[in-house]
């Protein structure tokens, strides 16, 4: 019975690996390339991401946007402002008709001077599309999302089957689990590297898969929210103060009578509500017609997923909803930092480095797995040929 189960798992492990190996290697390499994306972009674009601090007051967000519009730049989708006086303001533009997004722009917060487009941003955007959707049409709404999701589930199946197949007679020996036999050659060396290195990265791959499925399947995301988040509270309007100081009405204006959404009142409302308790904030205009601005206020820096989130009515400056990181449960904090967990950033630079090396090792499993498969086929053919040469009675 045990032999039959192992034989079945071995076939499952081999078939899934052969079918999905190329996609897994692609996902692993592209994921590793993005591990230190923030640090690489910061190093390449120090001249456009930073300015000389001055005593002059910084321009209001709407003034910065108005100056860009006067220079015939496209419609603005979001603006990222920092508490750091030496940080430039990042502007992101709305998507084009073909759903492509123009490169973002950095401007001087003191005089609105255009500093330039960041080098490398479009490259990493392409790598991200390749990592998540294989550059297939439709991006997150196309078949690429389904393929990468199925591939992730396949990797999870290989992890489980590989652990069962790997289970040694002496499971308490760390040497058996963690030390490859580099004195072997050929098929023996390939098997040793495949199984031992797989043991090293097994837990990391499990974390990558369980978090990566968050972007692949809506049902998975809904299940994770149901499992780790509290039930949503009854919808009640927040009695927030408008930036002027008086209590603003909590009823939102009708969409037909509301003025066009602007950033100034939302920025003033955020400053009044949070003061100095954030490092930077991104204010995003809605894609629909309602003037509700979504705000993400990072507590330290944008590379860290700890953030507060708000919805602010741009017409009145009323905070319609707020989600403070400090008020979240442990499970809700995990959900808000899925990306940090996925790439190891939750453990800082050492965690990102370990996760990057694990992702880079994915081609090792694809290559050694293919070599082991070809070796088995060759030995099987040799054994079959030897049997056909036997004469009766031997």
Q: How far are the Cα atoms of 211, 236, 294, 341, 354 from residue 205, in angstroms, in the given order?
A: 10, 41, 33, 12, 11
- Give the distance, in angstroms, between the CA of residue 52 and the centroid of all CA atoms in the same chain: 32
Residue 249 has what pLDDT?
47
Give mean pLDDT, residues 300-326: 89
Give mean pLDDT, residues 246-254: 46
Task: Please tell me the least confidently modeled range out of 44-48, 244-248, 275-279, 390-394.
Answer: 244-248
Question: Which pTM was predicted?
Answer: 0.87
pLDDT band at 378; cut points 50, 70, 90: confident
Give mean pLDDT, residues 213-218: 96
Reading the block at residue 86, the tokens are 């030496």
Give mean pLDDT, residues 136-161: 94
Residues 6+ apart with CB under 8 A from 81: 61, 89, 109, 267, 280, 281, 283
Q: Which residue has the higher pLDDT, 166 or 124?
A: 124
Residue 100 has what pLDDT?
80
Nearest 10 degrees: Cα torsion 220, 122, 33, 372: 70
């Amino acid at each position: 019975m045990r032999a039959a189960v192992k034989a079945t798992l071995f076939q499952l492990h081999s078939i899934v690996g052969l079918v999905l190996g190329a996609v897994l290697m692609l996902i692993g390499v592209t994921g590793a390339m993005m591990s230190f994306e923030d640090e690489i972009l910061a190093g390449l674009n120090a001249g456009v991401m930073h300015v000389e601090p001055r005593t002059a007051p910084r321009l209001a967000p709407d003034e910065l946007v108005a100056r860009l519009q006067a220079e015939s730049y496209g419609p603005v989708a979001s603006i990222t402002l920092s508490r750091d006086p030496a940080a430039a303001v990042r502007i992101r533009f709305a998507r084009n008709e073909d759903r492509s997004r123009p490169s973002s722009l950095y401007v001087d917060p003191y005089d609105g001077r255009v500093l330039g487009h960041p080098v490398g941003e479009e490259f990493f955007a392409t790598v991200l599309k390749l990592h998540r959707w294989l550059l297939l049409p439709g991006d997150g709404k196309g078949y690429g999302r389904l393929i990468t999701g199925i591939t992730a589930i396949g990797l999870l199946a290989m992890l489980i089957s590989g652990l069962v197949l790997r289970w040694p007679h002496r499971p308490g020996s760390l040497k058996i689990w963690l030390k490859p036999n580099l004195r072997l050659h050929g098929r023996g060396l390939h098997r040793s590297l495949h199984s031992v290195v797989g043991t090293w990265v097994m837990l990391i791959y499990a974390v990558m898969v369980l978090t990566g499925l968050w972007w692949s399947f809506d049902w998975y995301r809904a299940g994770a929210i149901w499992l780790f988040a509290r039930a949503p509270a009854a919808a009640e309007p927040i009695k927030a103060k408008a930036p002027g100081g008086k209590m603003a009405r909590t009823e939102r204006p009708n969409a037909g009578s509301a003025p066009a959404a602007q950033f100034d009142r939302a920025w003033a409302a955020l400053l009044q509500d949070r003061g100095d308790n954030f490092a930077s904030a991104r204010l995003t205009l809605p894609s629909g017609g309602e003037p509700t601005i979504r705000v993400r206020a990072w507590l330290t820096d944008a590379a860290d997923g700890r953030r507060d989130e708000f919805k602010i009515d741009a017409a009145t400056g009323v905070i319609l909803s707020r989600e403070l990181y400090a008020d979240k449960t442990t499970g809700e904090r995990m959900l808000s930092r899925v990306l940090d967990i996925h790439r190891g950033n939750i453990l800082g630079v050492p965690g990102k480095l370990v996760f990057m090396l694990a992702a880079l090792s994915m081609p090792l499993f694809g290559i050694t797995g293919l070599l082991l498969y070809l070796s088995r086929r060759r030995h099987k053919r040799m054994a079959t040929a030897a049997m056909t040469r036997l004469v009766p009675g031997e």
